[in-house]
Amino acid sequence: MAKLSDTKIRNAKPRKKAFKLYDEDGLYLIVKPSGARWWRVKYHWRGKEQLLSVGVYPDVSLATARQRCQDTHKLVANDINPSAHRAQKKVAEREAAERTYEAIAKQWLELTGRGRKWTADHIERVRRRQEVHAWPWIGAKPIAEVTDADVLACLKRVVDRGLLDTAHRLRADTHAIFAYAKKWKLILHNPVADLRDADTLPKLKVTHNAAIKDPRAFGMLLRALDAYPGSFVVRSALKLQALVFARPGMLRAAQWSEFDLDAAEWRIPGAKMKMGEQHIVPLSRQALEILRDLYPLTGPDGFVFPQARNPSRPISENTLGSALRTLGYSADQHSAHGFRSSASTMLNESGKWHPDAIERQLAHGERDKVRAAYNSAQHLVERRAMMAAWADYIDTLKAGGNVVPFQRAG
């Protein structure tokens, strides 16, 4: 019987029923009524005839099909069942796909984020660092095959872009991912363990958020906020930030559903908080005035401080900082985050308030869970008084003149 040729295969017209075109060594092509052409290899195993699919023409050429036919018969000659061999190979490939660096990184992120009660924003930041700076180069590799050189190359690319802080965070995340893989016996050695920050990356300079802590200078800043020439929404956000000194990200993402103006409370959901627990911000009379003035414009639903062009999104993370620059305050003088340091310094220096009450208002987490639960309730009354007194105090600073001592609210 003449062997097949590409010309013969192409000229074979489909019929009402499928038919076979034979080559040699048990290789043949099935031509189906639809026109599809499937390669099959016939072999014998333990005295029984077996069939194995080896691809579809023309994706699998005649030459490739013949090679696969030979490989099939070699397996039989070595007492290996080709069908069982293929099944085992598929299982191995599936397991390999499930053990790539990217797959294990996603497992680690899901379990760690849930276990440590990370916020959705934090989980997304960690995932995004991996997606941009690691996965394109090492994501598809089996995690057991990723070397310290591979990781170092990823880190170097980030450093070369000038993203030193990101590089340090990426190294820490990657180290944790490999530690997770080692714990579950997926690797024998953590390749990042030898990549110490001091030896691998340029030293990260410790920077602090610039803040005005002198009362007179802070009063000048408050007067500048009142005169901000930009939008009413941004001016309101700046003024409220001075009063509540929340994390800027919390303020800009605040939604009206979180506020109870009658109860004078802003309850930030645990899902948004760094420590995963609901945070209560008592609202002073001055804070309520700002919110009630803003309510007709941006309420009753959605973001308290929406973007002008896209109300479905909050003002960007750079908005408050840019507004301060507009007012003449450089990043080295005062930042949006600096309102927290300003308030913390002046509240602590007054000596009028329990340090734990100040820390709770700043939403700094307690290491002692029992103490944290106690302080959450115990200091709420004091924090209400403190926030009212703070608002009255900065009113006096804004008015100018002599700086009066910080008094406890009556």
Q: Give CA–CA dist 70/55, Å, rounded.
A: 14
Residue numbers annotated as active site: 247, 274, 337, 340, 364, 374
Residue among 54, 46, 59 nearest 71 (CA): 54
d(CA 326, CA 292): 26
Beta strands 19-22 and 27-31: pairing type? Answer: antiparallel
DSSP string, 68-121: HHHHHHHHHHTT--HHHHHHHHHHHHHHHHHTBHHHHHHHHHHHHHHHTT--HH
Contact 386, 361 (CB under 8 A): yes
The answer to whether the peptide bond before residue 300 is cis (omega within 30 degrees of 0) is yes
Cα angle 180-181-185, degrees, rounded to a multiple of 5: 120
For 176, the 3-state DSSP assignment is: helix
